[in-house]
Structure formats: structure tokens, C-alpha cells
Structure 1
Amino acid sequence: MKKAIYSIISFAALALASCSQSMLDFSPTDSGSGDEMLKSASTAITSINGVYSSMRTAGWSTTANTHQCFGIAAYNLALDAMADDLVMQGQGNGWFWGDHTYNVKSNYTSSAFRSYDVWYANYKWIANVNYVIDAAPAMAGSEADVAYVVGQAYAIRALCYLNLATWFSRTPYNAMRGTARWDEACVPIYTTGTSIKTGGQPRATLRQVYDRIDEDIDTAIEYLEKGRENSLATANKTHIGLYAALGIKSRACLAEGDWDGAYTAAKRVIDQGGYAVGTKADLTGGMNSLDKSNVIWGASIQIADQAGGYASFFAHMDNQQGAYAESAPKLINKQLYNRMSSTDVRRDWWDPNDKESPYIGKKFAFSNVASWLGDYLYMRVEEMYFTAAEAALRSENLPGNVQIARDLMNTVMAERDPKYNANYRSGLNLGATTTTWTGSLLEDILIQRRIELWGEYGRLFDVRRLGQGIDRRADDGFSEECLSGMSRRNVDLTKPDTYDWVLTIPQDELDANPNINEEDQNP
């Protein structure tokens, strides 16, 4: 069989049967019309637009369970549900409960669950942008227009390989121990447009995949700098521009333990991007608008045709408007909530005194619940402050690094807590688990990052790279149903190198790819 390879190549036919009209913007592969589309930047942008459209659309990346498979926002929510700070009060309709209770790995033989969803979606995005990259040398258009299109293609590919590495391998660097595992198996790499004759690649090593990410994102940044004055950008925040690419680079550098690279990328966004730290008004409006000055990148969902209805982020997170969130409220871990001071404006994001669901989230809300509207926020400038602060503090090459970290924290926290002051903190100590407190400056940076990005970033990405374990407890809000289910499956999250955080490779890939077999499967 050639299911996995063929399914990527024949996506256009699948889209006709199962997706909204916006999904048809994907460039058709192995076809004359696809070749024509990619000859000019003004038409090649259509393929890029289709990728972005699919990144917020449900119904194409799996054969079922589509209400928990709606692209980037769903993956971020799943990674939050797998971690320590977002607590699901109950199973509700079942969506994200498998992620939350670690009952997904055994479903790799089905095309209806998380393994297939993440694998298929990211490799489909890679397949589409590879065609754009292949066409770049002969692409017509102004230098800026071509650079804008091709730069996004490279950035999307870097992001996809970072996504795949996060889900299907262990982290390359353990910051707690200062050790790396670059030789471990990661995922296959494809860098050119695929055809019906394309053979499957073996699993590359973590070193090879992260080298690919680094090269792609650096190439993207170079192109996007040249493409700043393009004529094609009509809604910059819905596309990966220069500063979103720098944000992606900072994330990859954190995973690699490249503190200087993370600091430089994040600090450039802060200094040059023109973004402003969100005020209380920005933070308490439902987190649903790209128009806010702190938003770097996201998905615009302003008309009913773009909304996913129940298959959407806000349906799962807007606890005030019913939908799925009513039956499965999302809570904050009590310990994390109690790390906020009484003067922190972010306390308004949760209600510890709710009678039915103590510590229930109020951070996210539809902008128009009747029409299911609300923009998805993929990246905010606040993330860059916390990244730059952590990276500066860890750097051995940055003069005055401790005070630089403190200053960054004081700046971002000034809009959150008038009494906050990082100047009295120091140190790099972290506990063995994420709820073992040390009082260090590094821990404080991470606490504020956790509070700030709750529900929107994918917390497990940080847990894995930090080298800490997770100690879920009923006293912190985790349900007995969740804890007993994990116990039955022998899930132990206190071990920072656990394979419980690593998805199994879909059976379709094992069947289709002669270079990936059962012995290559993740534990």
C-alpha cells in the first residue's frame, strides 16, 4: 500500500469531498493547473493562502473526531490539555479528553485520532509549500513579491517540522540536565514537491530535523526581509511575516537550548516589530481579535463562512456561552492561580469562586457567539518578552544578562501587576516537577509565562524542553476520572523523559513507507 504518500498527493480530490470552499485554495499537485499557478508570485500566493485557511479548518485532516481537529489552535489546546496548567473538569462530549488523560497512543491504527491528524496535516502543509519552493527560481513578479511568497513557504515548512518533532519525538535538549539526544529518531524529511512516484523517507535524527528547521527559518527570515514592501499582503497578521518568522525561530532555539539565538530573535521582535504589550483592556476582551497591538500572528474569523461552529477553539474554551465548554469546563491549576499576586489583572481570566466549577476559565470568548466568530491568536508579543528574559538569564555570553532579564520582566509585567518587581529575584534553580517551587528568577519567568499563555500556546512544548516532570493532583483540580484513567494506563508524567508525551506514528505510514517499519515505532 501507499496510503500515506498517496493521501498527501491526492489531497485535492479529498478536499472536494470533505472540506469547505476555502480549502480548495490548496494548489493541485501533479497537474498542469498547479504548475501554471506557481509561475507567478501573484498566483502562487493562492497556494499559501490555502495552507493558512486549512490551519484553522476542521474536517479534512482526519476521517472522524473533527471537532477536536481544527488546525493550529486545536494542536495548541491539545498540548495544553496534556500538561499541568489547564485542567478539564470532566469528559463532557469527549473532545480533548483523550489528550488530557493520555488515551491516544493506542489509536495509531485509526485515521480518526490525534496521531493521524497531526501527521497528515503537517505533511500536507509541507507538501504544498515544497511546490512553491521548487518554483521559486523561475517565479515571475517583483523581487519583493516573490520574496514574500517564498519566505512564507520556508517559514511554514520550518513550523511544520517543529510541530512534527514536538509531537513525534522527545525533545532534543534537556535544560534541567544540560544534556542532548540529537541522535534519536525524529520524523522523515521532504524538501521537494512530491509526486505519485515519490518514495517514503526514513525517520531522520533529531539533529537532521532541527538542522532543517534552522536552515528553513533562517532562509524565511532572509526572504521576508526582502519582501517587506510587497504588493500582495492585505492582512499581514493572518500570514507569517518577518516578525512571526522570528518568533518561530525563537521557539526552535528554546527547544535546542540555543539561548543566544532565542534571545536575539525574540528581542528583535520586541525592538523592531512595533508591537505593544497588551493592556488590561486588551487582555479582558475575550482574546479574540487580531487587531490588538500585541498580536503578531493568528487566523481571522470575521464572517460565518470562516467559522467552524462547534468545531472551533471558542466552542471548547468560552465557558460563558455553552457549546462544548459548558459540559467540559477548562480550569486553571489551583497552584498556578495562587502564584498570582492579589493585584495581578490576569486574575480576571478565572473565577476561583464559581460554585459548580471552581477556577473556571473566562479568558476566551466568542466575539459574536451567534455567528461563532472570534479570531485565533497564534502568537503574541508577550511570549517574546518571556522568551527573551529566559534566554538572557540562561546565556553565558550576554553581558549584564541577569539585569536584562529582570528589565524585560518588569516591562511586560507593568501592564499586569503594578506591584511586580523582578529586581529582588535571581538564580536558575527549578524543581524536579513543575509544581516544586524554588523561588528563583528563572522559575518566576516561567510562572508568568505559564499564566500569560494559558490555553493558547501549547504548554507541553515548554514542559518537555525544560526537563521537568508533571505531578497532577486532585488537590490542584484534576478529576479522579482523569487520574484513575492515567493510573490504569501506567502513565507517569513525573518522569521528564517519558514517552507518554510522544505520539505513535500512524499505521498508514508504517504500511505505506518501506523505510519506516514496526521496529521504528515510538514506544
Structure 2
Amino acid sequence: MKNKYLYTLLIPVMIFAYGCEDLDTLPEGDTVTTGQKEEVVANDPSKAEASVNAVFAQFNQYQPNADAIGSRHNDFGYPSVMMFTDANGNDIVQEDNGYNWSGNNLEYLDRDFASRECQIIWNDMYSIISNSNNVIGSISIDTEEALSKYYLGQGLATRAFSYWILAQLFQFNYDGNQEKPCVPIITNENSNDAALNGAPRASVQEVYDLIMTDIDNAVRLLKDAEEAAVVRKDKRYISLAVAYGLRARINLTMHKYAEAAADATSAINATSATPASIDDVDDPSFWTVDEDNWMWGIIIAETDAVVTSGIVNYISHLGSFNYGYCWYNGGRQINKILFNSIASTDVRKGWWLDENKTSANLTSEELAVMDDHGYPAYSQVKFAPYKNELETSTNANDIPLMRIEEMYLIKAEAEAMSGGAGKTTLENFIRTYRDPSYTSLASSATEVQEEVFRHRRIEFWGEGLNWFDIMRLNKGVDRRGAGYPNATMIFNIPAGSDILLWRIPEAEIQANPALTDDDNNPSAPAPTPVSE
């Protein structure tokens, strides 16, 4: 088949323009075995660097699925997954029109197993897994060499991250669903067999067992590497603090709250990142990994194809101040109910225009740009344009994958749910960094959890995290009163509805000998719109 799906991604020899052939091929063209790769890396650990770079290059790609699905302006690597899932939720309000590439996500038409969005998610996440497997297969887990430990930690952490994403898209939350089918497991160890015989869906338990094994090993290896003074070159790579942060996310998803609190605390202690102050975020920001609160991000260069394309990039679809799709599709707004829940003393109130189309966080020049382009009330002004140049056509914004603020909110929720002082942690964080007047009215652990969820919706709006909170907390999607402009996208979807799950792509079912139509998630009709 022409289409590139998991079954064709199983073969661990994926050659990229980053020199992966150093590990994957011999000079005469023969494929290098796993044992030979390990020997090469043991003799010269730097040989693994190209394979590691290929992993992180996969996060930022210009139309990587063009051969399979044609040219799509919502196809640009992992940020596509962020955009799709945010549009599935309650909080990023958009008009469905000819300039908006999120229409299928807004109306859940993306759940058809032949949808392009379904194929993009599947291909992108398994491509990262395939490249991670290349790294993992080239380094022994028992290596004693510090640089090799660092590289192996990168591969294991990114594989854990990728399966964590897939597990929450293709099945309901871990707790109570352990025996249900999840996604196929492909590792460096079984990839050759899977290439011949296919790979069945593993259970949720089996997938999370792999995730935890990988992230535990990554934490151990990166701790050893950093103690030996081997550290990352920049924030596109995973540090020990980021690995702790990933494990905090995973434990939170599994409802292992004491463990999540401990990992969030470890991440805070291990990182040099500090929360953005009120003064830091009372202007549009969140555009560069150089901001002190970013722990991990996708670094975008001006020469990257997603940038030179002009509009096939994340900020084109999200940004209000830069040239892109938002100039023509009405931009992105916040859920009105959520906006109205933000106190007037909270600096984040100014991350969006109010009902009068103004914001205390904006200069007169910034307000003029919003007015010139006709943005409606509640439009986002959180994200600055590249280099803070208003109306720039250079869309080279970096993309946040983890900020230190998330660790404080995980810590607060997890402490509360495990019998600790989560309410105090939450109040101290919000008062110090967002709203000096804040006091939580929560009187129980579950009320603290719900309040943290509200703050996460506000804090990480537009950063691709909200859908995973919806799934881990077993919530539905209720858009009533949110301000969605099209009646066709106003839904009240109960928790646990089949439509919330993605389906394995049709082409994967056809190409993978270990899967049949009966193995897929149930086909569900698009939800029925309800009145506002």
C-alpha cells in the first residue's frame, strides 16, 4: 500500500537526513543488527546522537503524512495532535468556516476511521516510537557509560510519552479499564516479528506497564548522566526534571496520587525553571523556550519548512498577532463560562479580550491589531508573535511541551487526593504567581481536584493538555453556554461515550495481519447538537 501506517513503520530501519545511517547501515549497504549497533555505541557513544536528533526532529515536521493523505495544512508533527485534541474539548471556541482546519475536530467527524486526522495522529505517534526504538535498540540497558545513559534515557522517555498519549486517545482512563484493548505495542525487541506478522492491540495494563518501565529507566539513567555532568544541550531534549515531570503526569493519569506528588516535587527540585511571575505574563508571551518557566519544548528555526511554508504551522492556527489562518477564520476564543470564572485580580484574565474586546494586558498598538483584524470578544492574546513583532509573517514560535507551573498544579491536586496539604499548595502558588487575592473555597479533596482542573484549563489553554485532563478525570464534553458560534458544535457528551475515543485508522486495520474490523473501537455517530 502507498499509505504509511504502523505496519510499515514497524521496520526499525528508518533513515533520516540526520545521519541515522551511521547506526542503521554498513558501508556496503547491509542492515546493522541490534548487537552491532550496541557495539558501535559502546565504542563511541556519540554515534547515537544522530538517532536521538531524529526522534526530536519528528516532533516538528512539515506535512509528514503528505504521501498518505495529500497536502493538509493541519499536518505538522506533534503540534497537530495538540491542535486536534484541544478542538475536541470545551475551551477553545472557534467558528467553523472555510479558513478553519479544525472543523472535523470541533464536530467529532475526526472519529471516522478513514479521517485524515485519525491517520495523522496514528502515523505521527508511531513515527516517534519507531525512532525511539532505534535509539533504545542501539544501547544496552546495562551500559555504564554516562553519555550512553543520557541518549538511552532520551529514547525511553520519548517512547513512554508517545504511548501515554496514544493510551488516552484510543481507550478510556487506566483506572477501571486495565483489561480493555488499548494500542499495539511495538518495541525494538518485537519490531521484526511485528513487521512479518502484525501486532495486536495490547491491554491498557500492558501498555501502562511498558510506559512505567520506560519512564522509570529513563529517570534512573538521566539521574546517573547528570551526576556525571552529562546534560542536555537545549530544551528540545529531556532532562532529569522533565523525566520526573513525565512520570508525574503518568502517575496522575493512573490515579497514583502519592507517587504523582512525589514526582512533581522531584521535578521542581531538579529543574532550573521558575514559574513566570505576574509581571512576566501581564503581556503576551509563551513564544520561546528561553522563557524561564519552560522545561521542555519544540524549538522552531526560521529555516524550518513549517516556517517557510508561511501558514502550515501551529501558531498560524492559534496566533492573533501574527500572519496566519487566524486573520481570516475569526481566531480562537475562550469558553465564556471559564473566562467569567477568572477573578478580576488574576493576571490571566488579560490573556483574552473581555466582553468589550479589551484587555488590561495589551498596549494600544496590540489592541489596534486585534481591532483591525476584527477579532470577537474573548479572543486569545496569551501567545505573543515571534520576537514580539506584531503582524509578523515569520511564524517561528517555539511550542511548549512542559512548563514548571504544571508541576505545582500536579503537586497540589495529588497532595489533596492523597491526604496532604494540596489546598495550601494551590493557594500559595496562585497567590504568588497569578492572583495575590486568591483564596480557595474547596472544603474536600475532590473539590481541590476540581479547582485545580479549573486552573489547569486557564493556565494551559492552547497548550494541548486539556483533553488528557478530561479523559483522566472521566469527564464529558459540555459546550452549553461556552459561546460556540455554530449550532452544529454545541454538544453535551456524557463521560464514557464511545465518540470520545479515536478509532484505529482503516488502512492500519487493512495492513496489519493481527487486526480486524472487530478489533477496533466501536463506530459511533457524531454527537447530536443541543440547545445553548
Deviation at 1:281, TM superposition (A): 4.1
Correspondence 1:323 to 2:324: yes
**Residue 27 in 1 paired to residue 27 in 2?**
no
**8 Å contact kept, 1:304–1:372:** no
Which of residues 447, 458, 466 is equivalent to 2:454?
A: 447
Q: Please say if residues 410 and 421 of structure 1, whose CA atoms lie closer than 8 Å, have aligned partners that are also in contact.
A: no
Closer, same or farther: CA 311–233 of 1 in aligned 2, 3 Å: farther
Superposition pairs of residues 292-303 of structure 1, within 5 angstroms:
292-303=291-302
Partner residue of 1:177?
Answer: none
CA distance in 1, matches of 2:488, 2:98: 12
| Contact persistence 2:24–2:37 (CA under 8 A) | no
CA shift at 1:77, angstroms?
A: 2.2
* Post-superposition offset of 1:9: 5.2
The separation in 2 between residues aligned to 1:86 and 1:301, in whole angstroms, is 24
Alpha-carbon separation, structure 2, partners of 1:50 and 1:520: 32
1:381 corresponds to: 404
1:280 aligned residue: 278
Q: Is the 8 A contact 2:125 2:162 kept in 1?
A: yes
2:442 paired residue number = 425
Q: Which residue identity is paired with 2:184?
A: P
Q: Which residue of 1 aligns with 2:247?
A: 249
Within the alignment, does 1:50 sit opposite 2:54 as a pair? yes
Say which SS state the counterpart of residue 522 (structure 1) adopts. coil
Matches within 5 A, 1:428-507: 428-429=445-446, 440-473=447-480, 475-483=481-489, 493-507=492-506
Q: Which amino acid aligns with 2:328?
A: S
Residue 352 of structure 2: aligned partner: 350
Query: 2:13·2:134 contact (CA, 8 Å) conserved in 1?
Result: no
1:304, 1:60 → 2: CA distance? Answer: 17
Q: 1:161 aligns with which of 160, 163, 167?
A: 163
TM-score (norm 1): 0.85
What are the superposed Cα offsets for residues 106-132 of structure 1, whole Å, 9 maximum, x if unpaired?
A: 2x236xx12111111221221222122
Equivalent residues in 2 for 1:10-21 (5 A)? Answer: none
Question: How far 1:443 moved relative to its partner?
Answer: 2.2
Contact kept in structure 2, 1:315 and 1:324, CA below 8 Å: yes
Counterpart of 1:109 in structure 2 is 114
Query: What is the rounded CA distance, in whole Å, between the counterparts of 1:495 and 1:320 in structure 2?
Result: 36
Aligned to 1:218: 216
The structure 2 residue matched to 1:189, chosen from 168, 181, 185, is 185
For 2:280 and 2:86, the matched residues in 1 are separated by 22
Other-structure match for 2:366? none
Residue-by-residue CA offset, 1:120-152 (whole Å, 9 max, x unaligned): 122122122212212212999x72100100001
Please give the TM-score of this superposition, normalised by the length of structure 2. Answer: 0.84
Q: Which amino acid aligns with 2:326?
A: A
Amino acid at match of 2:414: A
**Would the aligned equivalents of 1:82 and 1:102 in 2 still touch at CA under 8 Å?**
yes
8 Å contact 2:411–2:425 — kept in the other structure? Answer: no
- Residue type of the alignment partner of 1:45: E
The residue that corresponds to 2:365 in the other structure is none
State the Cα deviation string for residues 212-231 of structure 1 (Å, max 9, x = none): 11111111101111111567
CA distance in 2, matches of 1:71, 1:52: 10
Structure-1 residue corresponding to 2:414: 391
TM-fit CA distance, 1:236: 3.1
Higher alpha-carbon deviation: 265-274 or 145-154:
265-274
How many percent identity over aligned positions? 29
2: CA distance between counterparts of 1:306 and 1:295? 24
* 2:226 aligned partner, one-letter code: R
Letter in 2 for 1:25: Y
Listed as ranges, the matches of 1:329-348 within 5 Å are 329-348=331-350
Displacement after TM superposition at 1:269 (Å): 1.2
Check conservation: 2:276, 2:292, Cα contact below 8 A. yes
Distance, in Å, in 2 between the alignment partners of 1:67 and 1:11 is 28
Query: How far is 1:496 from its partner?
Result: 0.6
Q: Which amino acid aligns with 2:311?
A: Y
Corresponding position: 1:128 with 2:131: yes
The Cα shift of 1:469 comes to 1.9
Gaps of 5+ in 1: 16-22, 174-179, 430-439, 485-491
Q: Give the aligned residue type for 1:425.
A: A
Q: Structure 2: which 5+ residue stretches go unaligned? A: 358-373, 523-532
The separation in 1 between residues aligned to 2:326 and 2:274, in whole angstroms, is 31
User: Structure 1 residue 307: deviation in Å?
Assistant: 4.5
Deviation string, structure 1 residues 295-327 (Cα, Å, up to 9, x no partner):
100012243336433111111111122411122
Deviates further, 195-204 or 157-166: 195-204
| CA distance 1:9–1:24, change in 2 (3 Å) | farther
Question: Which moves more between the two structures, 369-378 or 131-140?
Answer: 131-140
How many angstroms does 1:37 deviate by?
Answer: 7.1
Residue aligned with 2:513, SS:
coil
Q: Within 5 Å, which residues of 2 pair with 1:90-105?
A: 90-105=96-111
In structure 2, C-alpha distance between the alignment counterparts of 1:122 and 1:442, rounded to whole Å:
29
Amino acid at match of 2:442: R
Q: Give the Cα separation in 1 of the matches to 2:507 and 2:75.
A: 18
